[in-house]
Amino acid sequence: MRVYRCVLQIRSPTVISNERGARGFYTATEALPGYTVGGAVNRALFGSVSPDRMLVSSPAYPVLNGHKTLPAHTFYYKCKVCEGLVVSTLREANLLELMRHGWEVVKERLIALRDEQSHPLKSLHPRPVTPQGGRAARVAVQSIVSIGMNRHAAASQIGLLYEYTAIEPGQEYWFTLASSGGSEIPDEFDVKIGRGASRGYGRAVVRVEERFTDPPLDQSVGDEAAFYAVSPIPLRFIAGQINLAECSSRYGLKGVDGVLEPIYTGGRPAAFGRAVRKMVAGWPHGASVSRERIDCLSAGSIVAYRWRQRTDDQARALAALRYFGAPVRLDSGYVDGFCMLYPFSREPLEEVV
């Protein structure tokens, strides 16, 4: 297992959008989806996405003044009055212990409406924030309008007006790449990401900052564990199981197995996060239609699982879950970059980076 910590720098306006309308793509994403980044990297290095030599990417989150950001979890708040005080109710709480006392105790201890000065709080979930200070990243965007011209009439033509909200050049994002082995990747390489690459959009450069071989996770877990979601979690993994043997088979990882099942409290899965309905799982390269849509919890969500079937090498299994996630099988094939989970004990944002 090899893991690369990378930085992507935008070199030209980049169209990666949350919304597609009748006349264009609107609302640029604050984070670049893992399946989008992974597809761009694999095409740049290998010419295609192949399970035999595939790099799996985490979502790419903004770098703010040299500081990496991560999606805020559900219990991460900022004061509405002073805009400076950050409150994380997970910092001094044991989520697993609270869940044993029921859903009402979890809500009472972890859901905060006001701070110690009785100022109202707002949740920052799932916006990318810096782990120290809770500064939220703001992605600079520009609006681009493309107009189709009728050369015979020497005028613009109705129906050929198209709008884009594009990420401005110069901004940086950090992410991880993971592979089961194979050849090394270069220290720096160019990629084309997002829509409109043939028209000059989406030019970027990737720099590899750190390389790891078989990276162990510092955390060890017992029969039950709370996890922080580095990437979105499909609801099928909230209501069902995560079978790490499927991860092993998909990505060629030896010695990775075990089954995780959700912990229930108050008759519902212990999952805390914003639901993202009809989340588009990307466009297959070379196709003009999107894949099926996936219902998810946002990145930054907090979930709790127990081992239904334990693994002989827990550290390797947890590393695979953190850097590869769980593949999602759709009618059109597999999609990667989902369900990347990190076990935590106190404040996850300070443990992950």
pLDDT recorded at residue 50: 65
pLDDT recorded at residue 215: 75
pLDDT recorded at residue 281: 60
pLDDT recorded at residue 306: 93
Per-residue pLDDT of the chain (353 residues; tens, 9 = 90+): 899 999 999 999 999 887 777 777 777 889 999 999 999 999 999 887 666 668 999 999 999 989 999 999 999 998 888 877 688 888 878 888 888 777 788 888 888 888 777 889 888 999 999 988 788 888 999 988 877 777 777 776 656 677 888 999 999 999 999 998 776 899 999 999 998 888 889 999 999 999 998 776 655 678 899 999 999 999 999 989 999 999 888 898 888 899 999 999 878 898 999 998 656 666 565 555 666 788 999 999 999 999 998 888 888 899 999 999 999 988 777 889 999 999 987 788 888 76
Radius of gyration of the chain (CA): 21
pLDDT recorded at residue 353: 66
pLDDT recorded at residue 313: 85
pLDDT recorded at residue 289: 61
Three-state helix/strand/coil letters over the chain: CEEEEEEEEECCCEECEEEEECCEEEEECCCECHHHHHHHHHHHHHCCCCHHHCCEECCEEEEECCEECEECCCCEEEECCCCCCEEECCCCCCHHHHHCCCHHHHHHHHCCCECCCCCEEEECCCCEECCCCCCECCCCEEEEEEEEEECCCCEEEEEEEEEEEEECCCCEEEEEEEECCCCCCCCEEEEECCECHHHCCCEEEEEEEEEEECCCCCCCCCCEEEEEECCCEEHHHHHCCEEHHHHHHHHCCCCCCCEEEECEECCEECEECCEEEEEECCCCCCCCCCCCEEEEECCCCEEEEEEEECCCCHHHHHHHHHHCCCCEEECCEEECCCCCEEEECCCHHHHHC
pLDDT recorded at residue 207: 98
**Domains recognised in the chain with CATH numbers:** 2-67+140-150+160-213 (2.60.40.4350), 71-129 (no CATH), 224-352 (no CATH)
333 exposure class (CB count in 10 Å sphere: 0-12, 13-18, 19+) = exposed
Give the predicted TM-score (pTM) of the model: 0.90
Contact yes or no for 273/302 (Cβ under 8 A): yes
